[in-house]
Chain A
């Protein structure tokens, strides 16, 4: 046995276990996108350019993470599916990684919203091996998924620990397969999303072909999110998401050499008033029948769902389709902007919000 295996025990013991975890990872990476996008576009154009830049960089990197998880799934011959009815979380939602101390809302940009973003991206390493997995209480409504995809009664200490588990599982399975004279990485290489299909998107889309590249892909995800081993920068020298967001709350940029919590760079000016007061966790049912806002929200919701169907096809052997995804995302941006600038049809002082609702896969029945 190699030295790597001393990092066991892993919860992941079979390919089907790995599938469950990677599927949860896919949901996790996606779950942050609606909240980040909504906060981003709630900013008044022309104001808050610093905050706008910070959130935009992060959301683009989340899209890269989604793609990297898809690449890992493809590499081990699994199917990537962004279309299940429950793929889009029911906001307010707990994260699919299993953290239970905060809920994620789809909400306008605010100090509170940034606090949620910091919770999502927090660089939390479990204090001990025993503390990685914690008991998971019954969360009731708003729960997205079981914390551990294999055991709903336990959850992970942080997203970092959740990915650490996938890391261990991949090492374990790869070693196990080799012992049995089998190959874990049997996926079709032409399904990999490589840089020529991934336009300028928050880092390089790594092709995953073996254990090393799979672990590298996971490392990029973990480091961009939470930093590397307690540092504020990732392996590429880029500030990690947690510290990017923290700059907004501390109203100052980090610079090289800074320690966590003490940014010493230029001031970052934030105007929490230059924000459209969009409805929090809007649902289609919030908008009156026949109202143009309802029609636009339905249209957006459908387009968003169609986009996930499109990505699913792209991730399952048509990476070239991702080139068309770029104009599609800009149209989604324009549609969100249009909704956010309209007054809410029934609530004084509140603006309309895009709705990211689960759409049944048989769309003949929805309006």
Chain B
């Protein structure tokens, strides 16, 4: 599946909008990172599971429950999905567990690594707390005297491209 599908899924699981995610400039890099580590098949399976079993549900509670059952509780796909969230928030891909690796194999890169030179500065965690990453994306002299600018949460967990 495409980068757009990856971004749509990522929007739902990170709580940020697709616009925000594209705005980090990291969508392509993270997509490539996931493919490189777990292989295209595992990522495609994850996204298909999400689009086939979750996206039709409009009720927020049912949707969240189904997301858990279809994706996060799945031993193979769940570990990848959680890593995708951590990747967006920190810019870091965290090594998968030895059990996961032993069971499903790893086609690509092993270990924990930063996805791109810009990934740290574009981590969602900085946006989530309304601040800038230490040592990057300078906010301007004296700006630390101002309260953080915490972005509004999207009104709905349903990503914009799936609405209507």
Contact = CB atoms under 8 A, between A and B. Distances in A.
Is B one of A's binding partners? yes
A337 B23 contact: yes
A323 B137 contact: no
A330 B139 contact: yes
A199 B142 CA distance: 11
A339 interface: yes
Residue of B19, B141, B146 contacting most chain A CB atoms (<10 Å): B19
Nearest to A200: B141
A323 B143 CA distance: 9
Contacts of A45: 25, 117-118
B141 A342 contact: no
Secondary structure type dominating chain B contacts: loop
A327 B23 contact: no
A338 B20 contact: yes
B17 A292 contact: yes
B17 A327 contact: no
B25 A292 contact: no
A327 B118 contact: no
Contact of A342 (B23, B139, B143): B23
Interface residues of A, number: 22
Interface string A298-341: 00000000000000000000000001101111110010011101
Contacts of B82: none
Contact of A293 (B19, B140, B146): B19
A140 interface: no
A266 interface: no
Interface in A182-201: 199-200
Contact of B141 (A296, A326, A331, A334): A326
B23 A338 contact: yes
A84 to B, nearest CB: 27
Nearest to A295: B19
Contacts of B22: 341-343
A345 B18 CA distance: 12
A199 B143 CA distance: 13
Contact of B140 (A329, A337, A343): A329
A289 interface: no
A56 to B, nearest CB: 12
Contact of B138 (A296, A323, A330, A343): A330
A246 to B, nearest CB: 29
A334 B117 CA distance: 17
Contacts of B18: 292
A178 B118 CA distance: 60
Contacts of A326: 140-143
Nearest to B25: A341
Given A341-B25, A342-B23, A46 B118 contact: yes
Contacts of B138: 330
26 contacts: A45-B25, A45-B118, A199-B141, A200-B141, A292-B17, A292-B18, A292-B19, A292-B160, A296-B19, A326-B140, A326-B141, A326-B143, A327-B139, A327-B140, A327-B141, A328-B140, A330-B139, A330-B143, A331-B149, A334-B137, A337-B25, A338-B19, A338-B23, A339-B23, A341-B23, A341-B24
Interface of A: 45-46, 199-200, 292-293, 296, 323-324, 326-331, 334, 337-339, 341-343
Interface of B: 17-20, 22-25, 116-118, 137-143, 146, 149, 160
What are the 4 closest A-B residue pairs judged by CB atoms, nearest first? A338-B23, A327-B140, A327-B143, A292-B19
